[in-house]
Structures are given as C-alpha cells and as structure tokens.
C-alpha cells in the first residue's frame, strides 16, 4: 500500500508542473512544439514510458503504451480520483476517458462507445477490463445492479478462455473481435448488456504457427485437477492430441496458470447462469474436438479414405450422442444434391482430413457463437427498463503485418481500414463542428483519405472481396491462383494494389508469385493467396451437418439444424459475412459519441523497461496517430472553456484575482491582456479561448507554477482561519446544545421533583386526616414519617448539658420511644460526665450526693449549703499549722485525718460555750482546743450511737455516745457553722446513714453523766442565736 501511494505521488508530481516536461514529456501531444515531426512524437512517448507514465492524450484520444509490469494506478482510490472531474484536470488515464464517456451518457443522455485498437500484445484486453472495473466501482450497489456488474466482469475471463490464445507476440492474444454494449438505466446503473463477436480465428483449432498454442480452454481442461471430469470425457494430460501438438509449444506452459484459470472459468460459468448440464455439454464439445483431431485416415488401393482409429470414433460418438457408423460414413464420404438427385462420393485421404478439420472448426466456431448468445441472454435486463442508454466497448484486433499474411490478416487489416476511415471522419467532423460553434474560421486539413483502400477491398463487383467470392462461386475447380489472376487483370492499374509483375526488381527475390501487396494507410502488406478460397468458402459437407443435427448434445442440436440442408441457397462466404457485419458495426459506432484508446506495444519480448523505437514508430504509423495529431493541431493547439481557463489562471492578473464578478469571457480578455498575448497567438470563441502555439501555453503555465507559492500561503492563511472559525462554531454549537440539554434535564428533574412532592403531600395529608383510623398505607406512611421527622428534630435539639433537663415534646406515636430515648440519653450524658470527672470532683460530688440523700427536704439550711463546695479543712491558716503538727505527732499509725472544722462546744452543765476544733480521722473524732490542739475528747467512730440535728437552719449537732463512757461525761453538744458538711463527712466515714436523726421537736434531750438528761429548747426568733433561758437550759433560736 505504501508503494502504491509513493508511486501515485511520484506520477502526480511529474504531471503537476509543465516545468518537468523535459523529463516526463508533455501529457498531450497537441502541446508538442514540433508536432509534425515523428521523431519528436516517439521521443515524447519514450520519456513518458521511462517514467511509468504510460498514458498520453492526443486531444480526446488516449494513447496507451503497455508497460509489461504492474503499476499501482488501478486501485479503488485512484478510481475515486477520476470520478466526476474534468477530462484534463488529472493526469492522463483510461479512467478519465471512461468517466468522461459515462458522464456524457448519464448527464447528456447520449449513447457512447469506446474504441480500443492496437496490435496483439499492446494491452487492448487489459484496457477493456479497466473500463469495466471503473464502471463496476463507480455505479450503484443494488443487488440487481451488482449481479449485472459481476456478469459483465466475469464475461471477460470466460470469452478469453474460448477466444484467446498464446501467440509469438502475446501470451493472451484475442483471436476474435468483440463489441460489448453495456445497458444503463436512467439512474446511470448498468442493468444489462449484449455482445457481438467478429471473425473468430477458427483455423487455430486445427493448426497453429510455430511457437503458438491453441485456444486456452483446451489446455485449461486438460490441466484441471478434476479427474472425474477428465475420466468422463476420456481425456488424459499425458495423451498425445494432434490439434495441440501441431506446434512446438508443449501442453504445459510455465508462464500460463492453466489450472487457476480453469477455476476462474468455472466460476464465470456459474455467474452467467450456465447450468451444470450446459457446462458439461460445452466441455464435452471441447473434448470431442480433441478426440476428433486424433482421428486418422489411410488411403485404400482405390484411392478412398478409411478411418484407421475406430475406437476414437466410438469415443466421439459416445460423447456427442450420435451413431458411430454415421459419423464414420460422414468423414469418409460426401453427399451432394443436384437437380433433385443425391450423389454420394467417397473422399480421398486429403479431403477426409479436410472434412475432419472443417468439422472441428465448425463445432468450435458455432459453440463459441452459442456461448456469446447464451451470455447475451444472461445479460438481458430482467425487467422492462425505459429510457436506457448504452456504452459500447470495441476490443478488436489491430493492424497485423506478419512474415506470412493470410486470409485472416486480410480481414483484420480491412477492419482497421474501416475503423481508421471512421476515426478520421468523426475527428474531422468534431473539429469542424467545434470551430463552427465557436465562430472560429476552419482551416482545411491535409490528410490521407483511406476511402480509396476501403473501396479497393469492398467495392461491389470491383473490389477484392467480390473477386474472391466470384472465384469461390464459379462452376468447376476453384483455386487461389485463379483468384490472384482475376485481381492481377482487373486491379493492375490501381495504385494501391501491387502484383508480382508490378513489384520492384530489387524486391522480386523476396516476393513469391502467389502473393500480392496492398498499400494500406499504415504501409505495404504482402499477402499470400494460399488458403483464401478455402477459408472464404468455409464449407462443411452435408453428411457432417446431418450427423451433428442428430446428436444428443443440446448445443450441437441447436447450432446444427436440418433446416440448413433444406435450403437450396449457397451459404454466404466468410468474407461477405465479415463485410456485412463490419458495415453493421460501422452503423453502430457512427450512431454513438466515440472515445478512442490507441494501444501500443513497446517491444516484441513482452519485457518491461524496453522501448523499441522502430517497433513503436511502425505502430504509430499504422494507428494513424500522426494523422490524428495533425487534424487536432489544425489551427490551434489548445482550447479551453472560459470558465475553466479563468478558474486556473485568474491568479496571474490583479483584475481577476481572487474573484471576478463579470462574465468569464470578459475575465479571460482581461487576463490575456495582462499576460500580453499577441493577437495572432490566440482567438476568442463564443465559449472557449483558442491558443495557437504550445509555447504560449507553457509560458502561462510556468507563470502559474511560480505563483503557486503565494497562492499556497494565502490558502493556508484562509484555511487556518476557516478551521479556527469552524472549531469555534462547533464548540459554540456544542455549548448551546449542552446548555439546552442541561436546562431541559434540570427542568424535567424539577417537574418530576414537584410531582413527587405533590404526591407525597397528598399522601401525608391523607395520612394526617386518617392517622387515628384503621391502618392504611397512607396513615402508616404518615406515622412513619412523623416518627422520622421527630427523630431528626430530636437529633438537632438534644440537651448539651447534664443539668439541662429539657426534652423535645413528641407526637403520641413516639411517646414510649421518647421516654426510652430520654432515659438512655440522660444515662449516656451522666456516664460521659462521670468519666470526665477528676478524682477531687468525683469525691466532691459523692459527698454532695450523700448530703442530698441525708438532708434534702429534711433540713431548711440544706438549699443554702448545696452550691457551697465541701472542703476537708475548714479552719484558719493559723490553726492549719497546729493541724499539721497534730497530724504528725498525735495520730497513731494507720490513722488518717479526713476532715477538720472549727466548732463551739457547750458544757453539759451550764452550757458554757468553748471554742474547739473537730478533727475527723478514719478511726475517731478528736475534739481539741484552739490553742495548742490539746485533746479534750476522743471518740472512736464505733462509739457514736447517733448524730442529732434539727430540721431548722441552725448549726446544732448532738453526738450521742454510750452512757458507759464516763470519761466523756455524756453526749457532746456542738455548734458547727457547716453542720451539713460536718455530718456528711462523719456519715461518709462511718458508712452509717441511719445514725443521723433530724428532729423537728421544740425540745431535744441529751444524756449527761450519771444517767441524767438535759433539755435543749428550740424556739423561733428574729435571728439565729444560742443562749440560756431562766431555768438555765440551752435555747436555740431560729428564724
């Protein structure tokens, strides 16, 4: 693929600039300066051939030189390059010719034909394949159209197998002329086709020149790997076949893939709808011809022929389905009907061989004609198509000049004379019509008119064909020399006919007496009259026709009919038939718009890279290319429509660049004025400009090439702007689309959200209304939602402090859950609070809790004590020093001071107050004086029976002790400012909460020594005080 791209780039570069013409030549011979010089013509062809530019124009005519190698210029990508472009907008190519013809057919509704000519090996068949390839790739893809295109493509290998052969000049030489019509519908799609074949070289069936082969199908069939088919046909590759070994070429040819080609032929037969039976019948006839060539004859003493290989006759009869004796009889005898009588005459050996060969040629020729007809049936449009147009492709033998030229070469060269005559007439006619349309004065062109040669050959009663038919039809023995004598007598004075007697003396030794010369437009050709009469008669004995008509083979039964025997009219001669078919072909071609492809063979070795100038010169001459060039150059070398000329060269003039708003003709007038064209160098037609000299065009083109850099920069700048704006517009469009879609998405989402919200509200409202009723989906959902909402609100409004006892009110369905949650949350808060407490704080709160349990709602002074923190040493700083000493010196080991406070002690007798300090340890209560901390009382904790306080706000504390403790002289009467704190410490130490007694009686008794009791009176007064009444009792006054 890379090589193909590189080759295409190389070719385009070489053609893109006329500055390269010294290397690659000019792409159109019309642009040659010395156009009348044949050497300049050949040199231009050679330059292009050496640079792989095998195509060159002569105006609308394409000249193709066979490169004998594969050049990557026939890919589908190349085909697309040549689709719908002007003929001269790309480098010369056969695709350009095809596209021009196809567009004229489709757009202008005119029938077209492409005439391909050239000698054997010049590439005519390949050119026709490329035309079909182009049509197949560029037309429609409907199943019916594809079927037709496939049939058209497959018709080529099928006809090549039966009509082509290897010759000394070409390994795949077409030995017949072919004209194919492709039928198009109004859409321009191929819907069918038809074929006409001309002058099959059937003599090749029985005889080939040295170094040549028979038709391909014989070798393909023998080389096929289908042993079952070969056995059925009684064939073997190792068997000698006379019709294949009459030349020195062996059956096997390493340069020809017969096995692969046979598979291609089989596939082609399937594509064109040949049934299995029809295919078998064809192969049976091919095999029968091979066997027929092996039928030999001996001559008896009576001079009659006798078949010496009856087993071969039996094989042939078995294959054809006829009677073996009848076939033998037909090969040995001939039957003539004259004046109502039937006369049977034995044949000698020579005539028997002639009859055998004639039968073989007739079978093959009629089978080939049947195959073409069958192909036409397959290509017939399946449906009735209106407004059809056709494109014809004529692939016919080119002018032939061999060492020995016979009847076939005479017919071929006659055909080329007719085509050349048509070519010159149509070319001159088109030139004249164009000049007339454009209002340009026509200059008469001097050219060789070959009508005189055509008349020499075909004129009625005076032409060569008439003299040949006269010799063939006259009574008595006919001969080739008799035909030659007639021509020598009647055509002796014709300047284009040269008999032996008119031959120059120096050429007499090279010319035989049975030869004559014709001066064709391409030069002199010497013909040998040997075989002219025989081949023109093309006779087949009645016996053989009758046997073939009675065979079981469907093909032979259809092409050999008994009606032939009933006709008393002598069959038309081969030359007359060819003349008539050629006249019909000329009528077909003249009714269509022609395109021309002239094929040239560069060498006889069929080798790439060799350019034989003499061989090419010879072909240039007989193809009439110089004549064509002179006609084309009559007057003006170059012409182009104003629109195309202005479009290409407008950049050379400031007045026309970049756009010209006036008419194209006025723009071209400004352009040529700016370029300073001389008046004699150009002429202005109605729609085209005509330039007389190639040099004028070259200078214009060179200026254009130099201007390309500026144009390229301008194009780049414009293109970048275009691309940037295109990208911007695309991005803006994309943004708008995105915004639109996002807005639509958001709007749709909002609508859905609102719809859902409405539905939810409706259900909630219904659930609210029916919340107290029977459970339904709505009220269950409402209750569930209310629970969820309550929990969400609760989560946002939970108390942040342990002392904050607020709790969010709950709906009735959540009451039980709310209580549980409240309890759990308070517990969690308390736990978290406790875990965060320091040991001191924790001790403080434990004491406070104990005090609450002991005094809450029991003693009036408790609320005032609540906010006051408890302390372990409620004494002055002076006393704290004594406390420390006391703690160190007086406490026994294991005893620890827990609490101390200043108190007032009242005597049991007289109730005199005394300042003391109460020290609480883990084992006892020490009452010491304030001066030296001398112990006045020491009560073990176990000896304390009861602690008595009042319910009032006083600080009275009575410590009841056992009566047997005589040392302490009874209960201790104490006044303590922080009585609640003191009692709490004592109870916390003793762990005896029931030892506390809170009384609200007006008198409180206390024990004294000796079992006596004293009374303490509790009264109310304006202020708190401790004193004595008249009776000497302790009175506690509370407010």
Q: What is the mean pLDDT of each run of 10 residues along the chain (1039 residues)?
A: 42 42 73 84 92 88 92 89 77 90 84 86 87 88 82 89 87 86 88 86 87 91 84 88 69 70 92 92 94 91 87 92 91 76 82 90 93 91 77 83 84 86 76 79 70 89 89 82 89 87 64 84 85 84 87 91 75 86 88 89 89 90 79 72 86 85 88 85 85 77 82 87 94 95 95 92 86 84 87 90 87 88 91 87 90 92 90 89 88 91 88 92 92 88 92 91 73 92 93 92 85 86 86 86
CA distance 570 to 577: 13
The whole-number pLDDT of residue 837 equals: 86
DSSP labels, 78-106: HHHHTTT--TTSSS--HHHHHHHHHHHHH
Confirm whether 398 is a catalytic residue: yes
The whole-number pLDDT of residue 319 equals: 92
Tokens of 698: 């070259």
Q: Which residues of 660-686 are buried (b: 16+ CB within 10 A; e: fewer)?
A: beeebbebbbbbbeebebeeebbbbbe
Residue 227 burial (CB count, 10 A) = 10
Question: Is the overall model pTM greater than 0.85, yes or no?
Answer: no
CA distance 646 to 667: 7
Confirm whether 348 is a catalytic residue: no
- Going by C-alpha positions, the residue among 977, 973, 969 that lies closest to residue 953 is 977
The whole-number pLDDT of residue 217 equals: 93
- Going by C-alpha positions, the residue among 174, 66, 227, 649 that lies closest to residue 398 is 174
List own/partner pairs for 751-759 with CB under 8 A and 24 or more apart: none
Question: Do residues 90 and 96 lie in contact, with contact meaning Cβ atoms separated by under 8 Å?
Answer: yes
- What are the angstrom distances between the C-alpha of 653 and each of 19, 343, 485, 700? 21, 91, 72, 11
Confirm whether 121 is a catalytic residue: yes
The whole-number pLDDT of residue 4 equals: 43
Count of residues making up the chain: 1039
CA distance 410 to 399: 10
What's the DSSP call for residue 859? Answer: -
CA distance 318 to 288: 9
Per annotation, catalytic residue among 400, 471, 534, 701: 400
Per annotation, catalytic residue among 100, 125, 573, 696: 125
- Going by C-alpha positions, the residue among 285, 284, 275, 290 that lies closest to residue 245 is 290
Positive/negative CA dihedral, 249, 250, 251, 252? negative
Per annotation, catalytic residue among 128, 173, 203, 656: 173
CA distance 85 to 100: 8
Per annotation, catalytic residue among 139, 174, 556, 901: 174
List Cβ neighbours of 664 (8 Å cut-off, separation of 6 or more): 641, 642, 643, 645, 646
The whole-number pLDDT of residue 905 equals: 92
DSSP labels, 927-963: EEETTT--EEEEEEGGG--EEEEESSS--EEEEE--T
The whole-number pLDDT of residue 751 equals: 95
Beta-sheet strand order (sheet of 1025-1028): 1003-1007, 1013-1020, 1034-1038, 1025-1028
List Cβ neighbours of 611 (8 Å cut-off, separation of 6 or more): 45, 46, 49, 50, 602, 603
Per annotation, catalytic residue among 66, 170, 595, 656: 170
β-partners of residue 523 are: 520
Confirm whether 400 is a catalytic residue: yes
Per annotation, catalytic residue among 64, 98, 117, 120: 120
Q: How far is CA 779 from the centre of its chain?
A: 62
Kindly provide the residue ranges of all beta strands, DSSP E only, lying in 79-222, ordered along the sequence.
112-117, 164-165, 173-174, 177-184, 190-198
The whole-number pLDDT of residue 964 equals: 76
- What are the angstrom distances between the C-alpha of 639 and each of 97, 644, 697? 18, 10, 10
Tokens of 360: 């073989």
CA distance 78 to 407: 43
Question: Do residues 639 and 88 lie in contact, with contact meaning Cβ atoms separated by under 8 Å?
Answer: no
Residue appearing with tokens 């090969």: 331
Compute φ and ψ for 277, nearest 5 degrees: -65, -40
Q: 3-class SS at 1006? A: strand
Tokens of 881: 């020093």
Per annotation, catalytic residue among 177, 398, 667, 970: 398
Per annotation, catalytic residue among 121, 163, 177, 1014: 121
The whole-number pLDDT of residue 507 equals: 60
Confirm whether 174 is a catalytic residue: yes
The whole-number pLDDT of residue 5 equals: 43
Tokens of 148: 């037709």
Question: Do residues 138 and 185 lie in contact, with contact meaning Cβ atoms separated by under 8 Å?
Answer: no
Tokens of 156: 């080529």
């Amino acid at each position: 693929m890379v090589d193909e791209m590189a080759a295409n780039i190389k070719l385009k570069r070489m053609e893109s600039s006329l500055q390269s013409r010294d290397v690659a030549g000019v792409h159109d011979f019309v642009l040659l300066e010395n156009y009348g010089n044949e050497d300049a013509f050949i040199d231009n062809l050679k330059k292009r051939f050496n640079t792989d530019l095998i195509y060159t124009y002569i105006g609308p005519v394409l000249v193709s030189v066979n490169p004998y190698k594969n050049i990557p210029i026939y890919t589908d990508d190349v085909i697309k390059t040549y689709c719908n472009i002007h003929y001269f907008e790309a480098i010369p190519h056969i695709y350009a010719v095809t596209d021009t013809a196809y567009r004229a057919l489709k757009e202008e509704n005119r029938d077209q034909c492409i005439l391909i000519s050239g000698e054997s090996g010049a590439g005519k068949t390949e050119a026709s394949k490329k035309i079909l390839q182009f049509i197949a790739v560029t037309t429609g893809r409907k199943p019916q159209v594809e079927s037709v295109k496939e049939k058209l493509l497959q018709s080529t290998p099928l006809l090549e197998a039966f009509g082509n052969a290897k010759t000394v000049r070409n390994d795949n030489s077409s030995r017949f002329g072919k004209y194919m019509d492709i039928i198009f519908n109004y859409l321009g799609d191929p819907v069918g086709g038809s074929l006409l074949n001309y002058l099959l070289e059937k003599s090749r069936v029985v005889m080939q020149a040295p170094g040549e082969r028979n038709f391909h199908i014989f070798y393909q069939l023998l080389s096929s790997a289908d042993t079952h088919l070969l056995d059925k046909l009684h064939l073997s590759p190792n068997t000698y076949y006379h019709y294949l070994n009459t030349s020195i070429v062996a059956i096997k040819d390493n340069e020809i893939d017969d096995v692969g080609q046979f598979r291609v032929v089989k596939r082609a037969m399937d594509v064109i709808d040949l049934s299995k039976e029809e295919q078998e019948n064809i192969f049976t006839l091919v095999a029968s011809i091979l066997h027929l060539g092996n039928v030999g004859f001996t001559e008896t003493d009576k001079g009659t022929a006798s078949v010496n290989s009856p087993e071969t006759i039996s094989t042939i009869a078995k294959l054809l389905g006829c009677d073996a004796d009848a076939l033998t009889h037909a090969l040995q005898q001939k039957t003539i009907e004259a004046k109502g009588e039937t006369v049977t005459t034995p044949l000698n050996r020579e005539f028997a061989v002639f009859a055998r060969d004639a039968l073989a040629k007739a079978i093959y020729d009629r089978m080939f004609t049947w195959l073409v007809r069958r192909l036409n049936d397959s290509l017939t449009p399946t449906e009735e198509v209106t407004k059809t147009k056709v494109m014809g492709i004529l692939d016919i033998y080119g002018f032939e000049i061999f060492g020995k030229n016979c009847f076939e070469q005479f017919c071929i060269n006659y055909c080329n004379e007719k085509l050349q005559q048509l070519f010159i007439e149509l070319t001159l006619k088109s030139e004249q019509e164009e000049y007339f349309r454009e209002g340009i004065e026509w200059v008469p062109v001097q050219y060789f008119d070959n009508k005189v040669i055509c008349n020499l050959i075909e004129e009625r009663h005076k032409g060569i064909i008439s003299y040949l038919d006269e010799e063939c039809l006259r009574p008595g023995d006919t001969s080739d020399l008799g035909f030659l004598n007639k021509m020598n007598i009647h055509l002796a004075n014709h300047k284009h006919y040269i008999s032996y007697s008119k031959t120059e003396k120096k050429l007499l030794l090279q010319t035989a007496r049975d030869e004559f010369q014709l001066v064709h437009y391409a030069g002199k050709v010497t013909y040998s009259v040997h075989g002219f009469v025989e081949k023109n008669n093309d006779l087949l004995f009645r016996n053989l026709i009758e046997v073939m008509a009675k065979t079981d083979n469907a093909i032979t039964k259809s092409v050999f009919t008994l009606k032939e025997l009933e006709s008393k009219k002598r069959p038309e001669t081969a030359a007359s038939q060819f003349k008539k078919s050629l006249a019909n072909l000329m009528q077909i071609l003249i009714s269509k718009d022609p395109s021309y492809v002239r094929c040239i063979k560069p060498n006889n070795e069929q080798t790439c890279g060799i350019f034989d100038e003499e061989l090419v010169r010879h072909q240039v001459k007989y193809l009439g290319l110089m004549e064509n060039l002179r006609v084309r150059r009559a007057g003006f070398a170059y012409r182009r429509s104003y629109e195309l000329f202005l479009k290409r060269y407008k950049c050379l003039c400031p007045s026309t660049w970049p756009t010209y708003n006036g008419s194209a003709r006025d723009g071209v007038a400004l352009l040529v004025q700016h370029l300073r064209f001389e008046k004699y160098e150009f002429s202005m037609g109605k729609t085209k400009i005509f330039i007389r000299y190639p040099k004028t065009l070259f200078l214009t083109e060179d200026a254009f090439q130099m201007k390309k850099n500026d144009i390229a920069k301008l194009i780049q700048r414009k293109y970048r702007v275009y691309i940037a704006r295109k990208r911007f517009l695309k991005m803006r469009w994309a943004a708008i689309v995105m915004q639109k879609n996002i807005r639509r998405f958001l709007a749709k989402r909002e609508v859905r959200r609102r719809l859902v919200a409405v539905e939810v509200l409706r259900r909630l409202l219904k659930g609210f209304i029916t919340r107290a009723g029977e459970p339904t989906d709505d009220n269950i959902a409402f209750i569930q939602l209310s629970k969820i909402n309550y929990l969400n609100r609760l989560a946002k409004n939970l108390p942040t402090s342990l002392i904050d006892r607020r709790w969010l009110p709950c709906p009735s369905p959540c009451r039980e859950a709310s209580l549980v949650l409240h309890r759990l949350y308070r517990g969690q808060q308390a736990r978290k609070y406790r875990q965060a407490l320091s040991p001191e704080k924790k001790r403080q709160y434990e004491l406070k809790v104990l005090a609450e349990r002991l005094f809450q709602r029991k003693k009036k002074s408790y609320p005032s004590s609540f906010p006051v923190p408890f302390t372990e040493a409620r004494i002055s700083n002076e006393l704290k020093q004594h406390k420390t000493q006391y703690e160190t010196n007086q406490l026994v080991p294991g005893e620890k001071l827990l609490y101390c406070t200043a108190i007032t002690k009242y005597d049991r007798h007289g109730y005199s107050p005394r300042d003391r300090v109460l020290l609480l340890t883990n084992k006892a209560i020490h009452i010491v004086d304030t001066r030296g901390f001398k112990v006045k009382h020491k009560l073990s904790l176990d000896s304390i029976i009861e602690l008595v306080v009042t319910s009032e706000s006083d600080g009275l504390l009575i410590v009841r002790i056992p009566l047997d403790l005589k040392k302490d002289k009874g209960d201790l009467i104490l006044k303590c400012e922080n009585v609640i704190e003191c009692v709490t410490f004592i109870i916390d130490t003793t762990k005896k909460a029931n030892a506390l007694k809170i009384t609200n009686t007006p008198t409180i008794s206390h024990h004294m020594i000796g079992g006596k009791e004293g009374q303490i009176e509790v009264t109310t007064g304006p202020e708190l005080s401790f004193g004595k009444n008249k009776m000497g009792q302790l009175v506690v006054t509370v407010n």
